[in-house]
Amino acid sequence: MSAAAKSALVIGGGPAGLMAAEELARAGVAVTLAEAKPTLARKFLMAGKSGLNLTKDEPLDVFLSHYSHPQIAAITRAFGPEATQSFARDLGVELFTGSTGRVFPKVMKASPMLRAWIARLESLGVTIHTRWRWQGFDGDALIFDTPEGRQSLSPDATILALGGASWPRLGSDAAWAPWLSAKGVKIAPFAPANMGFEIDWSAHMANQLGQPVKGAALITPTRRTRGEFVISERGLEGGGIYELSAELREGAPLSLDLAPDQSAEDLAARLAKIPPKQSLTNRLRKGAKLDPVKLALALEWGRPLPKDPTQLATTLKSLPVPLGAPRPIAEAISSAGGIAWDSLTDDLELTALPGLYAAGEMLDWEAPTGGYLLTACLASGRHAGRAAARQLASS
């Protein structure tokens, strides 16, 4: 029987599910896409509110080094930054690359791209159902609560693209995990990823809440990075923190270099030139060239700051950050954990449930923000969709 005579069901209307649906439809499969929410791709649209970061324009091996698991990196190698940009342009989206290499639509929003994508899927014959909430299995059938009542489907192939466990209000609530676990699928425990960390601020930091910290280096036992982050009422958040969140979540210590463009020796020499009668605040502002935000952090975490210029420079170059707990998974941009790789074939088919495939954040991987998450979701949806289409064509 040809693929054209076969049916496929995609559960989940985010980027991974939409990509899987497109690949199946292009192969001639009759595709139904079921989404629990009233509209598609809500997390995708939310990400686009602050400027949709599609991918990052950097050497492929550098790009792939940001993924936590070699298999998701291998899948993304086949559909990386260049392919993601070509895909968006084919949808009529004009792109630009920022100074850091991040790639955005010129309009900065996600909605025009999503509208064009939905129109293309409908032109390919994809049937889209919203407010269809998957409720697990009834034997081999998949059961849904829908506006028309209970529905039971038994497609020839199914792609699960239901997201992880972050931002549950947008649909990624991991309600699927117990149903798959009961069928013998191994689920790695969920944990927040790309999240902030709590800090117990003193009262003198009140004026700095909401302020960005720029031009500092973040240091862990394994890495030294430069990235902007924000002082929030609850702690620290932002891209610089998110890039290190996996390591910090496991308890790694964090310190800041508040003067990363100066050596400790040069910084000590500059501090020594400030007359000792000057106040500590003036010495830091004039000698170390600390802006108000960095100055506040030095006073918050460095007290009592040493008077000796050499010791003071050492403190400013390695200021310990008293991180508290990570923010809850419901507030995290993404999640670690999910379907374990040893429960999947190389085609992303569930070994315990032949004919069912999984893609996107359901899988056990993580990556920092900056276009890495979205690119891999697209790549894994494409990978699973193509694999299912091949299987249907050969059966």
Q: Which of 2-11, 22-31, 245-254 shows the lowest per-residue confidence on average (mean pLDDT)? A: 2-11
Residue 134, pLDDT > 50, answer: yes
- Mean pLDDT value across residues 300-318: 94
- pTM of the shown model: 0.94
The Cβ of residue 169 has, within 10 Å, a number of other Cβ atoms equal to: 11
Average confidence (pLDDT) over 53-65: 97
Grouping H, G, I as helix, E, B as strand and the rest as coil, residue 137 is strand
- Architecture of the domain delimited by 3-192+332-394: 3-Layer(bba) Sandwich (3.50)
Sign of the torsion formed by the C-alpha atoms of 148, 163, 230 and 110: negative
Res. 5 pLDDT band, cuts 50 70 90 = confident
Q: Where do we find the tokens 């791709």?
A: 41
Quick check: 131 and 147 in contact, CB under 8 A?
yes
Position 4 scores a pLDDT of: 63
Question: H or E segment at 151?
Answer: strand 149-153
Please tell me the distance from the alpha carbon of residue 250 to that of residue 326, in angstroms, as a whole number: 10
Q: Residues 197-213: what's their mean pLDDT? A: 96
pLDDT over threshold 50, residue 1: no
How far apart CA 322 and CA 205 sit, in angstroms, is: 14
Q: What is the pLDDT of residue 3?
A: 64
Least confident of 41-55, 121-135, 157-171, 252-266: 41-55
> What share of the chain has pLDDT > 70, as a percent?
99
Phi, psi of 109 (to 5 degrees): -95, 160
Q: Which of 49-58, 181-190, 292-301 has the lowest mean pLDDT?
A: 49-58
* Separation between Cα atoms, residue 385 and residue 379, nearest integer Å: 10
What is the C-alpha separation between 43 and 249, in angstroms, rounded?
Answer: 23
DSSP, collapsed to helix, strand or coil, labels residue 285 as: helix
Is residue 302 classed exposed, middle or buried when 0-12, 13-18 and 19+ CB atoms within 10 A define those classes? Answer: middle
Nearest Cα neighbor of 387 from 355, 340, 352, 353 is 355
3 state DSSP class of 150? strand
Ranges in the chain annotated CATH 3.50.50.60: 3-192+332-394
> CA 319 to CA 351: how far, in whole Å?
49
Degrees to nearest 5, angle at CA 382 with 379 and 384: 110
d(CA 37, CA 128): 12
